Amino acid sequence: MTDIAASPPARPPRAVRPLRVAGAALQLAALGVVGPVVFTILGVLLGVGIGLVPVIGIGLLLLLGFVYGLFALAFLEYARVDGLYDLSLPAVRPRTSGRPGFGGFLRTIWAQFTDPLMWRGVASAAVATVLGFIVLAAASILVSGIAVAFSPLYADGADAVRLERTPFDIPVSLGVPLGLLAVLLSAAAIVGVALLHGVIARAILVPSREGALAEQARTSSAQRAGAVRAADLERTRIERDLHDGVQPRLVSVGMTLGLAQQKIDSDPDAAKTLLAEAHTSTKAAITELRQLARGIHTSVLDDRGLDAALSALAARSHVPVALDVRIDERCSKTAETAAYFVIAEALTNAAKHSRASECRVVVRQREGGILWARVEDNGIGGARIVPGGGLDGIANRVLGAGGEFRLDSPVGGPTALEVSIPCAS
Determine the Cα–Cα distance for residues 324 and 374; give it in Å rounded to an integer: 10
Residue 13 has pLDDT above 50, yes or no: no
Determine the Cα–Cα distance for residues 419 and 373; give it in Å rounded to an integer: 5
Residue 124 has pLDDT above 90, yes or no: yes
What pLDDT is recorded for position 306? Answer: 82
252-256, 332-336, 360-364: which has the minimum mean pLDDT?
Answer: 252-256
H/E stretch holding 106: helix 101-113
- Measured between alpha carbons, how far is residue 130 from residues 10, 38, 165, 259 in Å? 30, 13, 17, 90
Q: How confident is the model at residue 15 (pLDDT cuts 50, 70, 90)?
A: very low
Torsion angle defined by CA atoms of residues 252, 257, 263 and 267, in that order, rounded to the nearest 10 degrees: 90
Determine the Cα–Cα distance for residues 309 and 146; give it in Å rounded to an integer: 71
- All structural domains of the chain, each given as residue ranges with its CATH number in brackets, are 8-207 (no CATH), 229-296 (1.20.5), 299-422 (3.30.565.10)
Mean pLDDT of the chain: 77
Determine the Cα–Cα distance for residues 148 and 153; give it in Å rounded to an integer: 10
Rg (CA), the chain: 33
Decide: 100 and 144 in contact? Cβ < 8 Å: no
Q: Which residues, other chains included, contact 198 with Cβ-Cβ below 8 Å and sequence gap of 6+? A: 20, 24, 85
The pTM for the full model equals: 0.53
CB under 8 A, 24+ apart: contacts of 8-15: 12/86
Which range has the top average pLDDT, 121-135, 301-315, 385-399?
121-135
Cα angle value 319/323/329 (rounded, 5°): 145
The residues that bridge with 371 in the sheet, in sequence order, are 365, 421
Which range has the top average pLDDT, 139-153, 361-375, 393-407?
361-375
Decide: 375 and 316 in contact? Cβ < 8 Å: no
Determine the Cα–Cα distance for residues 155 and 288; give it in Å rounded to an integer: 98
H/E stretch holding 161: strand 160-162
List pLDDT tens digits, range 44-77: 999 888 888 777 668 888 888 999 999 999 999 9
For the sheet containing 404-408, what is the strand order?
321-326, 359-366, 370-377, 415-422, 404-408
What pLDDT is recorded for position 210? Answer: 54
Residue 131 has pLDDT above 90, yes or no: yes
Determine the Cα–Cα distance for residues 373 and 398; give it in Å rounded to an integer: 12
15-29, 212-226, 257-271, 309-323: which has the minimum mean pLDDT?
Answer: 212-226
What pLDDT is recorded for position 193? Answer: 92
List pLDDT tens digits, range 170-224: 776 676 787 788 889 988 999 999 999 989 998 888 876 555 555 555 656 555 6
Q: How confident is the model at residue 388 (pLDDT cuts 50, 70, 90)?
A: low
415-422 vs 404-408, strand pairing mode? antiparallel
What pLDDT is recorded for position 37? Answer: 94
Q: What is the mean pLDDT of residues 301-310?
A: 78
370-377 vs 415-422, strand pairing mode? antiparallel
Burial 48-74 (b: 16+ CB within 10 A, else e): ebeebeeeeeebeebbebbbbbbbbbb
66-70, 114-118, 384-388: which has the minimum mean pLDDT?
Answer: 384-388
